[in-house]
Structure 1
Protein backbone atom coordinates (compact mmCIF):
# COMPACT_ATOMS: atom_id res chain seq x y z
CA UNK A 1 0.00 0.00 0.00
CA UNK A 2 1.18 3.51 -0.81
CA UNK A 3 1.49 5.76 2.23
CA UNK A 4 -0.73 8.83 1.60
CA UNK A 5 1.98 10.98 3.19
CA UNK A 6 4.41 9.81 0.51
CA UNK A 7 2.35 11.52 -2.16
CA UNK A 8 3.50 14.83 -3.62
CA UNK A 9 1.79 17.81 -5.23
CA UNK A 10 2.68 16.54 -8.70
CA UNK A 11 0.56 13.45 -8.07
CA UNK A 12 -2.37 15.54 -6.85
CA UNK A 13 -2.07 17.82 -9.86
CA UNK A 14 -2.11 14.77 -12.13
CA UNK A 15 -5.26 13.50 -10.42
CA UNK A 16 -7.01 16.82 -10.92
CA UNK A 17 -5.99 16.95 -14.58
CA UNK A 18 -7.36 13.43 -15.29
CA UNK A 19 -10.57 14.36 -13.46
CA UNK A 20 -11.05 17.64 -15.34
CA UNK A 21 -10.19 16.26 -18.78
CA UNK A 22 -11.83 12.84 -18.32
CA UNK A 23 -8.92 11.16 -20.07
CA UNK A 24 -5.53 9.69 -19.15
CA UNK A 25 -4.07 10.49 -22.57
CA UNK A 26 -5.31 14.10 -22.64
CA UNK A 27 -4.02 14.63 -19.11
CA UNK A 28 -0.60 13.29 -20.14
CA UNK A 29 -0.52 15.63 -23.13
CA UNK A 30 -1.51 18.63 -21.04
CA UNK A 31 1.11 17.83 -18.37
CA UNK A 32 3.80 17.11 -20.93
CA UNK A 33 4.47 13.57 -19.69
CA UNK A 34 3.89 10.07 -21.03
CA UNK A 35 0.60 8.24 -20.49
CA UNK A 36 2.36 5.40 -18.60
CA UNK A 37 3.47 7.99 -16.03
CA UNK A 38 -0.12 9.14 -15.59
CA UNK A 39 -1.33 5.55 -15.21
CA UNK A 40 1.40 4.82 -12.66
CA UNK A 41 0.54 7.95 -10.65
CA UNK A 42 -3.18 7.17 -10.59
CA UNK A 43 -2.30 3.63 -9.49
CA UNK A 44 -0.37 5.01 -6.50
CA UNK A 45 -3.25 7.31 -5.65
CA UNK A 46 -5.72 4.42 -5.79
CA UNK A 47 -3.59 2.50 -3.30
CA UNK A 48 -3.15 5.51 -1.03
CA UNK A 49 -6.85 6.37 -0.86
CA UNK A 50 -8.24 2.83 -1.10
CA UNK A 51 -10.58 3.78 -3.93
CA UNK A 52 -10.64 3.12 -7.70
CA UNK A 53 -11.00 6.90 -8.27
CA UNK A 54 -12.04 6.35 -11.91
CA UNK A 55 -14.25 3.66 -13.42
CA UNK A 56 -14.70 2.87 -17.09
CA UNK A 57 -18.18 3.15 -18.57
CA UNK A 58 -18.81 2.92 -22.27
CA UNK A 59 -15.97 4.68 -24.05
CA UNK A 60 -14.93 6.95 -21.19
CA UNK A 61 -13.90 7.16 -17.55
CA UNK A 62 -15.97 8.55 -14.71
CA UNK A 63 -14.80 9.79 -11.33
CA UNK A 64 -16.04 8.12 -8.18
CA UNK A 65 -17.61 10.17 -5.39
CA UNK A 66 -14.42 9.74 -3.38
CA UNK A 67 -12.37 11.04 -6.31
CA UNK A 68 -14.52 14.16 -6.61
CA UNK A 69 -14.09 14.81 -2.89
CA UNK A 70 -10.30 14.42 -3.12
CA UNK A 71 -10.02 16.61 -6.21
CA UNK A 72 -12.01 19.44 -4.63
CA UNK A 73 -9.73 19.54 -1.59
CA UNK A 74 -6.47 18.68 -3.33
CA UNK A 75 -7.10 21.27 -6.05
CA UNK A 76 -7.16 24.06 -3.47
CA UNK A 77 -4.02 22.66 -1.87
CA UNK A 78 -2.15 22.57 -5.19
CA UNK A 79 -3.19 26.14 -6.05
CA UNK A 80 -2.18 27.41 -2.62
CA UNK A 81 1.18 25.63 -2.80
CA UNK A 82 1.90 27.10 -6.24
CA UNK A 83 1.06 30.53 -4.84
CA UNK A 84 3.46 29.95 -1.93
CA UNK A 85 6.21 28.80 -4.29
CA UNK A 86 5.85 31.80 -6.62
CA UNK A 87 8.82 34.21 -6.41
CA UNK A 88 8.09 37.44 -4.56
CA UNK A 89 10.70 39.44 -6.49
CA UNK A 90 10.50 40.10 -10.21
CA UNK A 91 12.79 41.88 -12.66
CA UNK A 92 10.95 42.23 -15.99
CA UNK A 93 14.11 43.05 -17.91
CA UNK A 94 15.79 39.72 -17.08
CA UNK A 95 12.72 37.52 -16.58
CA UNK A 96 12.42 34.28 -18.54
CA UNK A 97 8.97 32.68 -18.27
CA UNK A 98 5.94 31.57 -20.27
CA UNK A 99 2.46 32.83 -19.45
CA UNK A 100 -0.71 31.32 -20.91
CA UNK A 101 -3.56 33.66 -21.83
CA UNK A 102 -7.02 32.48 -22.90
CA UNK A 103 -8.84 34.90 -25.18
CA UNK A 104 -10.68 35.16 -28.49
CA UNK A 105 -10.61 37.24 -31.68
CA UNK A 106 -11.77 40.47 -30.04
CA UNK A 107 -9.03 40.48 -27.43
CA UNK A 108 -6.39 39.38 -29.92
CA UNK A 109 -7.07 42.34 -32.24
CA UNK A 110 -7.57 44.99 -29.53
CA UNK A 111 -5.39 44.33 -26.48
CA UNK A 112 -2.75 41.92 -27.76
CA UNK A 113 -1.01 44.24 -30.28
CA UNK A 114 -0.49 46.98 -27.67
CA UNK A 115 0.53 44.47 -25.01
CA UNK A 116 3.06 42.86 -27.35
CA UNK A 117 4.75 46.19 -28.04
CA UNK A 118 4.97 46.92 -24.32
CA UNK A 119 6.47 43.52 -23.53
CA UNK A 120 9.08 43.73 -26.28
CA UNK A 121 10.27 47.00 -24.79
CA UNK A 122 10.15 46.07 -21.11
CA UNK A 123 10.28 42.26 -20.76
CA UNK A 124 11.48 40.57 -23.97
CA UNK A 125 12.08 37.29 -22.11
CA UNK A 126 8.37 36.80 -21.35
CA UNK A 127 6.76 34.38 -23.79
CA UNK A 128 3.00 34.46 -24.25
CA UNK A 129 1.06 31.31 -25.13
CA UNK A 130 -2.26 32.53 -26.53
CA UNK A 131 -5.01 29.90 -26.67
CA UNK A 132 -8.60 30.33 -27.89
CA UNK A 133 -10.96 30.43 -24.94
CA UNK A 134 -14.30 30.34 -26.80
CA UNK A 135 -16.54 29.48 -23.82
CA UNK A 136 -14.01 27.26 -22.02
CA UNK A 137 -11.98 29.93 -20.29
CA UNK A 138 -13.00 28.92 -16.79
CA UNK A 139 -12.01 25.30 -17.36
CA UNK A 140 -8.72 26.35 -18.93
CA UNK A 141 -7.88 28.45 -15.87
CA UNK A 142 -8.94 25.70 -13.49
CA UNK A 143 -6.80 23.07 -15.22
CA UNK A 144 -3.80 25.38 -15.46
CA UNK A 145 -3.87 25.39 -19.26
CA UNK A 146 -3.86 29.17 -19.03
CA UNK A 147 -2.86 31.65 -16.34
CA UNK A 148 -5.22 34.46 -17.31
CA UNK A 149 -8.52 34.83 -19.14
CA UNK A 150 -9.47 37.96 -21.07
CA UNK A 151 -13.01 38.23 -22.37
CA UNK A 152 -16.69 38.94 -21.68
CA UNK A 153 -17.60 35.77 -19.76
CA UNK A 154 -17.50 36.42 -16.03
CA UNK A 155 -16.68 33.67 -13.54
CA UNK A 156 -18.92 34.15 -10.53
CA UNK A 157 -17.45 31.79 -7.96
CA UNK A 158 -14.90 31.70 -5.18
CA UNK A 159 -11.22 31.35 -6.04
CA UNK A 160 -11.29 33.59 -9.12
CA UNK A 161 -10.29 37.23 -9.34
CA UNK A 162 -11.42 39.85 -11.84
CA UNK A 163 -10.43 43.26 -13.16
CA UNK A 164 -12.56 45.08 -15.74
CA UNK A 165 -10.43 46.44 -18.60
CA UNK A 166 -13.02 48.34 -20.62
CA UNK A 167 -16.51 48.18 -22.08
CA UNK A 168 -17.76 48.29 -25.66
CA UNK A 169 -21.04 48.52 -27.52
CA UNK A 170 -22.31 47.09 -30.80
CA UNK A 171 -22.49 48.27 -34.39
CA UNK A 172 -23.72 46.70 -37.60
CA UNK A 173 -21.36 45.89 -40.45
CA UNK A 174 -22.15 45.03 -44.06
CA UNK A 175 -20.91 45.25 -47.64
CA UNK A 176 -20.47 48.96 -48.52
CA UNK A 177 -22.80 48.34 -51.47
CA UNK A 178 -25.59 47.10 -49.19
CA UNK A 179 -28.57 49.46 -49.50
CA UNK A 180 -28.98 49.42 -45.70
CA UNK A 181 -25.63 51.19 -45.30
CA UNK A 182 -26.94 54.52 -46.58
CA UNK A 183 -29.01 55.45 -43.51
CA UNK A 184 -29.36 54.57 -39.83
CA UNK A 185 -31.17 51.29 -39.24
CA UNK A 186 -34.53 51.29 -37.53
CA UNK A 187 -35.25 48.45 -35.11
CA UNK A 188 -37.76 47.00 -37.58
CA UNK A 189 -35.24 47.06 -40.44
CA UNK A 190 -32.60 45.55 -38.22
CA UNK A 191 -34.73 42.59 -37.15
CA UNK A 192 -35.90 41.93 -40.71
CA UNK A 193 -32.44 42.11 -42.33
CA UNK A 194 -30.75 38.75 -43.06
CA UNK A 195 -27.97 38.40 -40.53
CA UNK A 196 -24.78 36.51 -39.77
CA UNK A 197 -24.72 35.78 -36.04
CA UNK A 198 -21.45 34.97 -34.28
CA UNK A 199 -22.12 31.96 -32.07
CA UNK A 200 -19.24 31.44 -29.64
CA UNK A 201 -20.60 28.10 -28.45
CA UNK A 202 -21.95 26.74 -25.18
CA UNK A 203 -24.56 28.80 -23.38
CA UNK A 204 -22.86 32.17 -23.97
CA UNK A 205 -24.95 34.70 -25.88
CA UNK A 206 -23.88 38.15 -26.99
CA UNK A 207 -25.56 40.94 -25.06
CA UNK A 208 -27.37 42.32 -28.09
CA UNK A 209 -29.09 38.94 -28.48
CA UNK A 210 -30.04 38.98 -24.80
CA UNK A 211 -31.52 42.46 -25.25
CA UNK A 212 -33.41 41.41 -28.37
CA UNK A 213 -34.94 38.51 -26.46
CA UNK A 214 -35.93 40.89 -23.66
CA UNK A 215 -37.75 42.97 -26.25
CA UNK A 216 -39.49 39.86 -27.56
CA UNK A 217 -37.69 40.05 -30.91
CA UNK A 218 -35.81 37.41 -32.92
CA UNK A 219 -33.14 38.29 -35.53
CA UNK A 220 -33.50 37.01 -39.09
CA UNK A 221 -30.52 34.66 -38.84
CA UNK A 222 -29.26 33.40 -42.19
CA UNK A 223 -25.92 32.06 -40.97
CA UNK A 224 -24.04 31.35 -37.75
CA UNK A 225 -20.24 31.44 -37.52
CA UNK A 226 -17.92 30.63 -34.59
CA UNK A 227 -15.78 33.78 -34.93
CA UNK A 228 -16.01 37.25 -36.47
CA UNK A 229 -12.53 36.83 -38.01
CA UNK A 230 -13.56 36.53 -41.69
CA UNK A 231 -16.86 38.39 -41.63
CA UNK A 232 -15.76 40.98 -44.24
CA UNK A 233 -15.09 38.21 -46.77
CA UNK A 234 -18.45 36.58 -46.11
CA UNK A 235 -20.40 39.85 -46.24
CA UNK A 236 -18.87 41.02 -49.53
CA UNK A 237 -21.34 40.89 -52.40
CA UNK A 238 -24.31 39.95 -50.21
CA UNK A 239 -27.27 41.64 -48.54
CA UNK A 240 -26.26 40.19 -45.15
CA UNK A 241 -25.42 42.24 -42.07
CA UNK A 242 -23.62 41.27 -38.87
CA UNK A 243 -23.56 42.75 -35.38
CA UNK A 244 -20.14 43.04 -33.74
CA UNK A 245 -18.45 45.10 -31.01
CA UNK A 246 -17.43 48.57 -32.18
CA UNK A 247 -13.69 47.89 -31.81
CA UNK A 248 -13.98 44.75 -33.94
CA UNK A 249 -15.58 46.79 -36.71
CA UNK A 250 -12.74 49.33 -36.45
CA UNK A 251 -10.21 46.57 -37.16
CA UNK A 252 -12.02 45.71 -40.41
CA UNK A 253 -11.53 49.28 -41.65
CA UNK A 254 -12.95 50.22 -45.05
CA UNK A 255 -13.69 46.64 -46.06
CA UNK A 256 -17.12 47.00 -44.46
CA UNK A 257 -19.70 49.73 -43.99
CA UNK A 258 -20.53 50.49 -40.36
CA UNK A 259 -23.85 51.76 -39.00
CA UNK A 260 -25.09 52.16 -35.47
CA UNK A 261 -26.91 49.18 -34.03
CA UNK A 262 -30.47 50.08 -32.96
CA UNK A 263 -30.22 47.57 -30.09
CA UNK A 264 -28.53 49.24 -27.15
CA UNK A 265 -26.36 46.75 -25.31
CA UNK A 266 -22.92 46.77 -23.73
CA UNK A 267 -20.11 44.23 -23.53
CA UNK A 268 -17.63 44.19 -20.63
CA UNK A 269 -14.10 42.88 -21.21
CA UNK A 270 -12.57 41.49 -18.04
CA UNK A 271 -9.19 40.10 -17.01
CA UNK A 272 -9.61 37.06 -14.72
CA UNK A 273 -7.21 34.75 -12.89
CA UNK A 274 -7.09 32.27 -10.00
CA UNK A 275 -5.52 32.15 -6.56
CA UNK A 276 -2.73 30.06 -8.10
CA UNK A 277 -1.12 33.16 -9.61
CA UNK A 278 -2.76 35.86 -7.51
CA UNK A 279 0.36 36.79 -5.49
CA UNK A 280 3.01 35.89 -8.07
CA UNK A 281 5.14 38.99 -8.62
CA UNK A 282 5.53 38.19 -12.33
CA UNK A 283 1.81 37.77 -12.85
CA UNK A 284 0.95 40.84 -10.79
CA UNK A 285 3.31 42.83 -13.03
CA UNK A 286 1.91 41.35 -16.24
CA UNK A 287 -1.70 41.93 -15.18
CA UNK A 288 -0.76 45.54 -14.61
CA UNK A 289 0.69 45.76 -18.12
CA UNK A 290 -2.45 44.23 -19.61
CA UNK A 291 -4.53 46.85 -17.82
CA UNK A 292 -2.08 49.48 -19.04
CA UNK A 293 -2.48 48.27 -22.64
CA UNK A 294 -6.26 48.55 -22.30
CA UNK A 295 -5.86 52.04 -20.84
CA UNK A 296 -3.69 53.15 -23.76
CA UNK A 297 -6.34 51.93 -26.19
CA UNK A 298 -8.92 54.13 -24.47
CA UNK A 299 -6.57 57.12 -24.58
CA UNK A 300 -5.87 56.61 -28.28
CA UNK A 301 -9.62 56.47 -28.99
CA UNK A 302 -10.16 59.78 -27.21
Structure 2
Protein backbone atom coordinates (compact mmCIF):
# COMPACT_ATOMS: atom_id res chain seq x y z
CA UNK A 1 0.00 0.00 0.00
CA UNK A 2 2.86 2.38 0.86
CA UNK A 3 4.52 1.64 -2.49
CA UNK A 4 1.29 2.40 -4.37
CA UNK A 5 0.99 5.73 -2.53
CA UNK A 6 4.61 6.61 -3.30
CA UNK A 7 4.22 5.88 -7.02
CA UNK A 8 1.26 8.25 -7.13
CA UNK A 9 3.47 11.25 -6.30
CA UNK A 10 3.94 13.60 -9.27
CA UNK A 11 6.59 16.20 -10.06
CA UNK A 12 4.32 19.08 -9.07
CA UNK A 13 4.00 17.63 -5.57
CA UNK A 14 7.76 17.13 -5.30
CA UNK A 15 8.30 20.74 -6.33
CA UNK A 16 5.88 21.86 -3.63
CA UNK A 17 7.80 19.84 -1.03
CA UNK A 18 11.06 21.42 -2.14
CA UNK A 19 9.62 24.94 -1.98
CA UNK A 20 8.11 24.47 1.49
CA UNK A 21 11.48 23.15 2.67
CA UNK A 22 13.41 26.08 1.20
CA UNK A 23 10.94 28.79 2.23
CA UNK A 24 10.02 27.27 5.63
CA UNK A 25 6.54 28.56 4.90
CA UNK A 26 3.29 27.24 3.42
CA UNK A 27 2.13 30.80 2.73
CA UNK A 28 5.24 31.81 0.79
CA UNK A 29 5.16 28.58 -1.19
CA UNK A 30 1.52 29.16 -2.11
CA UNK A 31 2.46 32.65 -3.34
CA UNK A 32 5.33 31.31 -5.47
CA UNK A 33 3.08 28.64 -6.99
CA UNK A 34 0.18 31.08 -7.31
CA UNK A 35 -2.23 28.71 -5.53
CA UNK A 36 -4.22 28.79 -2.30
CA UNK A 37 -2.47 27.82 0.91
CA UNK A 38 -5.00 25.00 1.30
CA UNK A 39 -3.66 23.46 -1.92
CA UNK A 40 -0.14 23.43 -0.47
CA UNK A 41 -1.42 21.89 2.78
CA UNK A 42 -3.31 19.21 0.82
CA UNK A 43 -0.18 18.34 -1.21
CA UNK A 44 2.00 18.10 1.91
CA UNK A 45 -0.57 15.85 3.58
CA UNK A 46 -0.53 13.61 0.50
CA UNK A 47 3.27 13.47 0.66
CA UNK A 48 3.18 12.63 4.37
CA UNK A 49 1.17 9.53 3.56
CA UNK A 50 3.37 8.66 0.60
CA UNK A 51 6.64 8.90 2.55
CA UNK A 52 5.18 7.78 5.90
CA UNK A 53 6.72 10.80 7.65
CA UNK A 54 5.47 14.02 9.23
CA UNK A 55 7.86 15.98 6.95
CA UNK A 56 7.21 19.34 8.68
CA UNK A 57 6.31 20.53 12.15
CA UNK A 58 5.82 23.98 13.67
CA UNK A 59 8.34 25.45 16.08
CA UNK A 60 8.26 29.02 17.32
CA UNK A 61 5.95 30.07 14.52
CA UNK A 62 8.15 28.54 11.82
CA UNK A 63 7.72 25.47 9.67
CA UNK A 64 10.63 23.12 10.37
CA UNK A 65 11.55 19.99 8.38
CA UNK A 66 12.09 16.57 9.90
CA UNK A 67 15.40 14.77 9.34
CA UNK A 68 13.67 12.48 6.86
CA UNK A 69 12.35 15.50 4.96
CA UNK A 70 15.84 17.00 4.62
CA UNK A 71 17.14 13.74 3.14
CA UNK A 72 14.19 13.51 0.75
CA UNK A 73 14.58 17.10 -0.49
CA UNK A 74 18.27 16.58 -1.22
CA UNK A 75 17.38 13.73 -3.59
CA UNK A 76 14.26 15.45 -4.94
CA UNK A 77 16.25 18.56 -5.90
CA UNK A 78 18.51 16.45 -8.11
CA UNK A 79 15.51 14.70 -9.70
CA UNK A 80 13.72 17.98 -10.45
CA UNK A 81 16.85 19.64 -11.86
CA UNK A 82 17.60 16.63 -14.07
CA UNK A 83 14.00 16.45 -15.28
CA UNK A 84 13.93 20.16 -16.11
CA UNK A 85 17.16 19.74 -18.06
CA UNK A 86 15.60 16.85 -20.01
CA UNK A 87 12.58 18.99 -20.83
CA UNK A 88 14.75 21.68 -22.43
CA UNK A 89 14.92 21.69 -26.24
CA UNK A 90 18.14 20.15 -27.57
CA UNK A 91 18.79 23.22 -29.69
CA UNK A 92 18.25 26.94 -29.17
CA UNK A 93 17.55 29.50 -31.88
CA UNK A 94 17.94 33.03 -30.45
CA UNK A 95 16.07 34.61 -33.35
CA UNK A 96 12.85 32.74 -32.51
CA UNK A 97 13.22 32.46 -28.70
CA UNK A 98 10.21 33.55 -26.60
CA UNK A 99 11.34 32.51 -23.12
CA UNK A 100 11.85 34.60 -19.96
CA UNK A 101 15.10 34.76 -17.99
CA UNK A 102 15.60 36.25 -14.52
CA UNK A 103 19.00 37.66 -13.57
CA UNK A 104 19.82 38.42 -9.92
CA UNK A 105 22.23 41.33 -9.55
CA UNK A 106 22.71 44.68 -7.82
CA UNK A 107 23.41 48.33 -8.69
CA UNK A 108 26.98 47.73 -9.91
CA UNK A 109 25.99 45.02 -12.36
CA UNK A 110 22.97 46.98 -13.61
CA UNK A 111 25.26 49.91 -14.37
CA UNK A 112 28.34 48.16 -15.73
CA UNK A 113 27.27 44.78 -17.17
CA UNK A 114 23.52 44.55 -17.81
CA UNK A 115 23.21 47.42 -20.35
CA UNK A 116 25.63 45.75 -22.80
CA UNK A 117 23.90 42.40 -22.26
CA UNK A 118 20.48 43.92 -23.00
CA UNK A 119 21.74 45.52 -26.21
CA UNK A 120 23.18 42.19 -27.40
CA UNK A 121 19.99 40.34 -26.50
CA UNK A 122 17.82 42.86 -28.36
CA UNK A 123 20.02 42.47 -31.44
CA UNK A 124 20.08 38.67 -31.53
CA UNK A 125 17.07 37.44 -29.51
CA UNK A 126 14.40 40.19 -29.57
CA UNK A 127 11.69 37.82 -28.32
CA UNK A 128 13.63 36.92 -25.17
CA UNK A 129 12.35 38.62 -22.03
CA UNK A 130 14.91 39.65 -19.38
CA UNK A 131 13.94 40.41 -15.79
CA UNK A 132 16.39 41.62 -13.16
CA UNK A 133 15.89 41.25 -9.39
CA UNK A 134 17.99 42.55 -6.52
CA UNK A 135 20.34 39.87 -5.28
CA UNK A 136 21.67 41.81 -2.22
CA UNK A 137 23.59 39.04 -0.40
CA UNK A 138 21.10 36.26 -1.09
CA UNK A 139 21.57 35.66 -4.81
CA UNK A 140 22.57 32.04 -4.18
CA UNK A 141 19.29 31.45 -2.34
CA UNK A 142 17.33 32.95 -5.24
CA UNK A 143 19.11 30.53 -7.58
CA UNK A 144 18.32 27.55 -5.33
CA UNK A 145 14.66 28.57 -5.11
CA UNK A 146 14.51 29.09 -8.90
CA UNK A 147 13.60 32.74 -8.29
CA UNK A 148 16.54 33.59 -10.57
CA UNK A 149 18.24 31.73 -13.41
CA UNK A 150 21.55 33.56 -13.28
CA UNK A 151 23.46 35.50 -10.64
CA UNK A 152 25.99 38.23 -11.43
CA UNK A 153 27.89 39.69 -8.50
CA UNK A 154 30.86 39.62 -6.11
CA UNK A 155 29.71 36.73 -3.92
CA UNK A 156 30.78 33.26 -5.09
CA UNK A 157 28.88 30.40 -3.39
CA UNK A 158 31.14 27.72 -1.94
CA UNK A 159 28.64 24.88 -1.56
CA UNK A 160 28.00 22.15 -4.11
CA UNK A 161 25.46 22.57 -6.88
CA UNK A 162 26.73 25.94 -8.12
CA UNK A 163 28.82 26.72 -11.17
CA UNK A 164 30.91 29.89 -11.30
CA UNK A 165 32.77 31.80 -13.99
CA UNK A 166 34.92 34.88 -13.36
CA UNK A 167 33.78 37.89 -15.37
CA UNK A 168 36.00 40.81 -14.37
CA UNK A 169 38.35 42.14 -11.71
CA UNK A 170 37.56 45.33 -9.82
CA UNK A 171 39.00 47.56 -7.11
CA UNK A 172 37.96 50.61 -5.11
CA UNK A 173 38.82 54.28 -5.64
CA UNK A 174 37.88 57.44 -3.79
CA UNK A 175 35.75 60.25 -5.19
CA UNK A 176 35.25 63.78 -3.87
CA UNK A 177 34.22 67.22 -5.05
CA UNK A 178 36.88 68.62 -7.40
CA UNK A 179 37.14 71.70 -5.17
CA UNK A 180 38.11 69.62 -2.13
CA UNK A 181 41.64 70.23 -0.79
CA UNK A 182 42.10 66.44 -0.83
CA UNK A 183 41.72 66.49 -4.62
CA UNK A 184 45.03 68.39 -4.94
CA UNK A 185 47.30 65.92 -3.17
CA UNK A 186 47.82 62.13 -3.01
CA UNK A 187 45.41 60.60 -0.49
CA UNK A 188 47.39 59.29 2.49
CA UNK A 189 46.09 56.74 4.96
CA UNK A 190 45.80 59.41 7.68
CA UNK A 191 43.94 61.82 5.40
CA UNK A 192 41.71 59.00 4.22
CA UNK A 193 40.54 57.81 7.64
CA UNK A 194 40.06 61.31 9.07
CA UNK A 195 38.11 62.73 6.11
CA UNK A 196 34.30 62.73 6.49
CA UNK A 197 32.96 59.76 4.54
CA UNK A 198 29.78 59.00 2.67
CA UNK A 199 29.77 55.29 3.47
CA UNK A 200 27.92 52.85 1.22
CA UNK A 201 26.41 50.23 3.50
CA UNK A 202 24.99 47.55 1.23
CA UNK A 203 23.21 45.71 4.05
CA UNK A 204 22.46 42.01 4.39
CA UNK A 205 25.65 41.41 6.37
CA UNK A 206 27.81 42.40 3.38
CA UNK A 207 31.00 44.27 4.26
CA UNK A 208 33.04 45.65 1.38
CA UNK A 209 36.58 44.36 0.96
CA UNK A 210 38.17 47.73 1.66
CA UNK A 211 36.34 47.89 5.01
CA UNK A 212 37.64 44.41 5.81
CA UNK A 213 41.17 45.63 5.04
CA UNK A 214 40.62 48.56 7.38
CA UNK A 215 39.39 46.17 10.07
CA UNK A 216 42.54 44.07 9.72
CA UNK A 217 44.65 47.22 10.03
CA UNK A 218 42.76 48.25 13.17
CA UNK A 219 41.42 51.39 11.49
CA UNK A 220 37.96 52.84 10.96
CA UNK A 221 36.51 55.61 8.83
CA UNK A 222 35.02 58.92 9.91
CA UNK A 223 31.45 58.12 8.85
CA UNK A 224 29.38 61.25 8.25
CA UNK A 225 26.75 59.76 5.96
CA UNK A 226 25.52 56.21 5.31
CA UNK A 227 23.58 55.16 2.21
CA UNK A 228 22.44 51.69 1.07
CA UNK A 229 23.67 51.93 -2.54
CA UNK A 230 26.04 53.90 -4.80
CA UNK A 231 22.97 55.18 -6.65
CA UNK A 232 22.99 59.00 -6.55
CA UNK A 233 26.10 59.18 -4.37
CA UNK A 234 27.71 61.64 -6.77
CA UNK A 235 24.98 64.23 -6.17
CA UNK A 236 25.32 63.82 -2.42
CA UNK A 237 29.06 64.51 -2.54
CA UNK A 238 29.03 67.50 -4.89
CA UNK A 239 29.52 70.78 -3.06
CA UNK A 240 30.50 69.07 0.22
CA UNK A 241 33.66 67.96 2.00
CA UNK A 242 32.56 64.30 1.84
CA UNK A 243 34.49 61.53 0.11
CA UNK A 244 33.23 58.09 -0.89
CA UNK A 245 34.93 54.78 -1.66
CA UNK A 246 33.36 53.08 -4.66
CA UNK A 247 34.24 50.56 -7.41
CA UNK A 248 36.49 52.11 -10.06
CA UNK A 249 34.15 51.46 -13.00
CA UNK A 250 31.31 53.27 -11.24
CA UNK A 251 33.59 56.22 -10.52
CA UNK A 252 34.70 56.35 -14.16
CA UNK A 253 31.14 57.27 -15.15
CA UNK A 254 31.13 60.52 -13.14
CA UNK A 255 31.87 63.86 -14.80
CA UNK A 256 34.76 66.21 -14.02
CA UNK A 257 32.92 67.88 -11.14
CA UNK A 258 34.07 64.91 -9.07
CA UNK A 259 37.73 64.09 -8.60
CA UNK A 260 38.92 60.49 -8.46
CA UNK A 261 41.88 59.49 -6.28
CA UNK A 262 43.66 56.20 -5.68
CA UNK A 263 42.35 54.59 -2.51
CA UNK A 264 44.91 53.67 0.16
CA UNK A 265 42.90 50.43 0.54
CA UNK A 266 41.97 49.50 -3.06
CA UNK A 267 40.87 45.98 -2.02
CA UNK A 268 40.51 44.16 -5.33
CA UNK A 269 37.48 41.92 -5.82
CA UNK A 270 35.93 39.81 -8.55
CA UNK A 271 32.56 39.85 -10.28
CA UNK A 272 31.33 36.33 -11.06
CA UNK A 273 28.68 34.68 -13.18
CA UNK A 274 26.89 31.99 -11.12
CA UNK A 275 24.29 29.36 -12.03
CA UNK A 276 23.05 25.96 -10.82
CA UNK A 277 22.63 22.42 -12.09
CA UNK A 278 19.08 23.32 -13.08
CA UNK A 279 20.27 25.42 -16.04
CA UNK A 280 23.77 24.02 -16.55
CA UNK A 281 22.98 21.96 -19.67
CA UNK A 282 20.21 24.17 -21.07
CA UNK A 283 21.08 25.33 -24.62
CA UNK A 284 19.36 28.66 -23.97
CA UNK A 285 21.32 29.30 -20.80
CA UNK A 286 24.56 28.13 -22.38
CA UNK A 287 23.95 30.73 -25.09
CA UNK A 288 23.14 33.44 -22.55
CA UNK A 289 26.19 32.73 -20.39
CA UNK A 290 28.44 33.00 -23.45
CA UNK A 291 26.73 36.25 -24.44
CA UNK A 292 27.27 37.73 -20.95
CA UNK A 293 30.93 36.66 -20.88
CA UNK A 294 31.56 38.00 -24.37
CA UNK A 295 29.87 41.31 -23.54
CA UNK A 296 32.03 41.75 -20.45
CA UNK A 297 35.21 40.78 -22.32
CA UNK A 298 34.44 43.42 -24.93
CA UNK A 299 33.88 46.04 -22.23
CA UNK A 300 37.16 45.16 -20.49
CA UNK A 301 39.03 45.36 -23.81
CA UNK A 302 37.51 48.76 -24.56
CA UNK A 303 38.42 50.01 -21.08
CA UNK A 304 42.01 48.83 -21.58
CA UNK A 305 42.29 50.70 -24.88
CA UNK A 306 41.11 53.94 -23.24
CA UNK A 307 43.67 53.75 -20.42
The TM-score range, normalised by the shorter chain, is over 0.9
How far apart are the structure 1 equivalents of 2:222 and 2:123? 47
Task: Please state if 1:196 is matched with 2:198.
Answer: yes
State the 1:117 CA deviation: 0.7
Asked if the contact 1:232–1:255 (Cα under 8 Å) also holds between the matched residues in 2, the reply is: no
- 2:287 maps to what in 1? 285
- 2:235 maps to what in 1? 233
Structure 2: gaps (5+ residues): none
Asked if the contact 1:119–1:126 (Cα under 8 Å) also holds between the matched residues in 2, the reply is: yes
How far apart are the structure 2 equivalents of 1:252 and 1:244? 12
Distance verdict in 2 for CA 1:300–1:81, change over 3 Å: same
Task: Please state if 1:122 is matched with 2:124.
Answer: yes
- 1:158 maps to what in 2? 160
- 1:56 maps to what in 2? 58
How far apart are the structure 2 equivalents of 1:64 and 1:262? 50
How far apart are the structure 2 equivalents of 1:22 and 1:238? 47
State the 1:226 CA deviation: 1.9
State the 1:181 CA deviation: 2.0
State the 1:178 CA deviation: 2.6
- 1:145-187 per-residue CA deviation (whole Å, 9 max, x = no partner) reads 0011000001112111111111111111123333222222111
- Of the structure 1 ranges 239-248 and 285-294, higher mean CA displacement relative to structure 2 is found in 239-248
- Of the structure 1 ranges 202-211 and 120-129, higher mean CA displacement relative to structure 2 is found in 202-211
Q: Aligned-pair RMSD on alpha carbons?
A: 1.7
- Of the structure 1 ranges 279-288 and 253-262, higher mean CA displacement relative to structure 2 is found in 253-262
- 1:295 maps to what in 2? 297
> Size of the alignment, in residue pairs?
302
How far apart are the structure 2 equivalents of 1:224 and 1:65? 43
Deviation >6 Å, runs of 4+: none
State the 1:255 CA deviation: 5.1
The residue matched to 2:198 in structure 1 has which SS?
strand
The TM-score normalised by the length of structure 2 is 0.93
- Of the structure 1 ranges 172-181 and 148-157, higher mean CA displacement relative to structure 2 is found in 172-181
- 1:10 maps to what in 2? 12
How far apart are the structure 2 equivalents of 1:220 and 1:45? 56
State the 1:36 CA deviation: 2.6
Structure 2 residue corresponding to 1:178, chosen from 170, 177, 180: 180
The TM-score normalised by the length of structure 1 is 0.94
